[in-house]
């Protein structure tokens, strides 16, 4: 499954290498990995290691290795309008990527044990929405994060199209996890040192596939000595017909713009990428080598070497790219054409009506 891949000098470079190593396989997954810069979900003092294929941890904050997330996103096969539940949602990095695929008609829930991490995820989400640049947030499903133990979700829960669990599931709760998904739904979770893709084929039947050998920390079990506090997930509100119509119109405009301006289809980078540094070290990523199936990816690795931090890295990552001028121009031009066409049609209709009325008056005067 690909050979050893070196670390990226920036987010784009990392994505290129994951794609070359066949961890990223589909255009949709490639697009969202480029849209959501991994470095923006790590702390300022960790920017020098943001684009290595290692798990990152800082206190309670945690992000899995990029190759693991690539396998997760490919395995989930997310699509527009789906419902998604992220157990152990952490910084919100994965949930943000999911939200760009499922879109405004989807459902995007996350459950995180630590309150400080939930606040961090909400702050990063606010930053993303304020600095998205050429990302159209009207086509984004905002994640909703809840604090609590992922093993304590209320029994009268809704079922989801897609579920990801970011920690190893104990054997005693395997059925609990499986029953979070609808029939034909997909659950991706680590168990027994494997990243599993589980498809629910019937009310009481599942099909399991191993995606990757991994090493994850285990989910924290609820304290049996106390009454575990149940996690109540956000309520789901139906989208109004007006909102659905608005999204359909936006999509129509965007499709027309992209059809007439092919180059805009690839204009989806919202962060100004830092220039590659000549001193950047090409550290090999600890990706799984297909020739050594027993080598597992570790999700608990803690790499905090900041000796190669680039000057101004955080400032560059925190700066947002301006909205794509050509896309705005194309949108305005298309909107004007629709308005002008409607005005002409209305004007022509009014002229026909006036001529018809004048003809009737002339006939009446003759009569």
Cite the active site residues: 64
The Cβ of residue 195 has, within 10 Å, a number of other Cβ atoms equal to 24
Q: Tally the C-alpha atoms within 13 A of residue 349's C-alpha that lie toward its C-beta.
A: 6
User: 113-127 b/e with 16+ CB inside 10 Å = b?
Assistant: bbeebbebbeebbee
Distances in Å between the Cα of 214 and the Cα atoms of 166, 245, 286, 293 are 11, 44, 11, 11
Contact by Cβ (8 Å): 247, 138: yes
- How deeply is 263 buried, as exposed, middle or buried, from its count of CB atoms within 10 A (0-12, 13-18, 19+)? exposed
- What's the distance, CA 226 to chain centroid? 36
C-alpha 86/C-alpha 142 separation (Å) is: 13
List of residues 6+ apart from 83 with CB closer than 8 A: 102, 106, 107, 109, 158, 160, 161, 162
Q: Which residue has the tokens 């659950």?
A: 187
How far is 20 from 101, CA to CA, in rounded Å?
A: 22
Tokens of 113: 């044990």
Q: Alpha helices of the chain — where are they, by DSSP H?
A: 11-20, 27-35, 66-76, 93-102, 115-130, 174-178, 241-260, 313-318, 325-366
Q: Is 243 left (phi over 0), alpha (psi -120 to 50) or beta?
A: alpha
Q: Which residues contact 67 (CB under 8 A, 6 or more apart)?
A: 5, 18, 21, 23, 53, 212, 285, 287, 288, 297
């Amino acid at each position: 499954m690909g050979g050893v891949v070196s670390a990226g000098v920036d987010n784009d470079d990392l994505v290129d290498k994951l794609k070359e190593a066949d961890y990223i396989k589909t255009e949709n997954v490639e697009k969202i990995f480029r849209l959501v810069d991994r470095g923006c979900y790590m702390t300022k003092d960790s920017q020098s290691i943001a684009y290595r294929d290692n798990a990152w941890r800082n206190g309670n904050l945690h992000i899995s290795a990029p190759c693991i997330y690539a396998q997760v996103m490919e395995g989930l096969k997310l699509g527009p309008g789906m419902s998604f539940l992220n157990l152990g949602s952490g910084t919100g990095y994965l949930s943000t990527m999911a939200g760009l695929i499922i879109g405004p008609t989807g459902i995007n829930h996350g459950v995180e044990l630590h309150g400080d991490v939930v606040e961090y995820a909400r702050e990063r989400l606010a930053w993303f929405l304020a600095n998205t640049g050429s990302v159209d947030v009207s086509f984004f499903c905002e994640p909703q994060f809840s604090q609590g133990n992922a093993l304590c979700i209320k029994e009268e829960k809704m079922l989801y199209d897609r579920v990801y669990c970011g920690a190893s599931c104990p054997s005693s709760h395997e059925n609990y996890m499986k029953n979070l998904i609808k029939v034909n739904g997909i659950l991706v979770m680590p168990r027994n040192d494997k990243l599993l893709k589980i498809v629910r084929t019937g009310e009481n039947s599942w099909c399991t596939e191993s995606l990757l050998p991994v090493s994850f920390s285990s989910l924290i079990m609820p304290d049996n000595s106390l009454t575990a506090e149940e996690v109540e997930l956000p309520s789901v509100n139906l989208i109004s017909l007006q909102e659905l119509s608005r999204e359909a119109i936006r999509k129509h405009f965007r499709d027309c713009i992209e059809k007439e301006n092919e180059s805009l289809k690839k204009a989806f980078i919202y962060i100004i990428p830092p220039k590659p540094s000549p001193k950047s070290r090409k550290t090999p990523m600890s990706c799984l080598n297909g020739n050594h199936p027993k080598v597992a990816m570790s999700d608990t690795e803690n790499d905090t070497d900041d000796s190669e931090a680039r000057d101004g890295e955080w400032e560059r990552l925190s700066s947002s790219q301006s909205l794509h001028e050509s896309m705005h121009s194309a949108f305005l031009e298309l909107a004007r054409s629709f308005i002008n066409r409607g005005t002409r049609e209305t004007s022509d209709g009014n002229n026909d009506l006036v001529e018809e009325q004048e003809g009737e008056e002339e006939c009446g005067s003759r009569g």
